[in-house]
A and B are shown apart, each in its own frame.
Chain A
């Protein structure tokens, strides 16, 4: 079974702090994704990566950056946390684009509260 783990289930940070969210997958997947999920808005893509050191902006990249130094690990960075970044953050991974069965597998999520 695919396993995607996230470093924290719950996190409370103060406005202006730099925040790191870590995600690790154990299926040797090429692709990794960061989403945020908010009531009434569904899941929205922040950033994704299709290879080590490669990254692409999603729909809402403002205020975030990412890092992928190893294939199995994808980090989301909030450079200066703000209250409007309070949300559930979900990491996902998937096989390469050429694989027909390229469904995304999600981690358990990190509930981030910025005060």
Chain B
């Protein structure tokens, strides 16, 4: 069974304090790994797709990396507006377009 585990569940950072969020996964053939950002009471907002081990993608203060077992979302010099829940999801080669989501990491960045 495809599975995604995110850690930590919650993370509190000071503004400017860089850190990383982890997404560990097991999947029967990875088609893609997706990162989303979700603000309270809103729908998830797409950030990145990673397709193969070694791939990296960046957007502003965020950088996503992928290995064969896990993905990291690195946040460099975060700002309070980066506070949100970050969701990771995997799509299997055989699963049509079904996404299996983790339960997310709640990030709070204090000024």
Contacts and interface: CB of A to CB of B under 8 A. Distances in A.
A43 B87 contact: yes
A104 B89 CA distance: 11
Interface in B23-46: 32, 34, 36, 41-46
A108 B42 contact: yes
A89 B43 CA distance: 9
A55 interface: no
B49 interface: yes
A26 interface: no
Contacts of B103: 40-42
Interface residues of A, number: 28
B101 interface: yes
Interface stretch (A14-22, A61-69, A78-86, A95-103): A95-103
Contacts of B101: 42-44
B43 A90 contact: yes
A107 B42 CA distance: 8
A66 to B, nearest CB: 15
B19 interface: no
25 contacts: A33-B97, A40-B103, A41-B103, A42-B102, A43-B87, A43-B99, A44-B101, A45-B98, A48-B97, A50-B97, A58-B98, A90-B44, A94-B97, A97-B97, A102-B32, A103-B34, A104-B46, A104-B97, A106-B36, A106-B44, A106-B45, A106-B46, A108-B43, A109-B41, A109-B43
In the complex, the 6 A-B pairs of residues with the closest C-beta atoms, listed nearest first? A106-B43, A42-B103, A43-B101, A42-B101, A106-B44, A109-B43
Given A4-B43, A103-B46, 5 more contacts: A40-B103, A42-B87, A43-B44, A44-B101, A48-B98
Interface of A: 4, 31, 33, 40-45, 48, 50, 56, 58, 90, 92, 94, 97, 100-109, 111
